[in-house]
Amino acid sequence: MSDETLHELDVRRQLCPIPVIKTQNKVAELAQGEVLRVTCTDPGALNDIPAWCRINGHEVLATEEGDLEVVVTLRVGAPSVAL
């Protein structure tokens, strides 16, 4: 990830579904291939954000779980085309 721009999203102290919604909103502002690191305190985000990524064509690069925080790093996929 050395030559990529890393965007940060802090959704600490927010509970489901807010971390996923704010991740979705942030990803909508980014271009394909950009990287976003989402920091959460809701432990459910460790499953929810990767599931959202799979459904929407984004790549999970890493997940980290600490004592009080969860971090999900993802690469933005191609925008979906409305039919």
Catalytic annotation, residues:
16
* Alpha-carbon span 70 to 48, nearest angstrom: 11
Q: Does domain 6-75 have CATH number 3.30.110.40?
A: yes
Is the pTM higher than 0.85? The answer reads yes
72: buried, middle or exposed (CB in 10 Å: 19+, 13-18, 0-12)? buried
Q: What is the pLDDT of residues 11-47, one digit of tens each?
A: 999 999 999 999 999 999 999 999 999 999 999 999 9
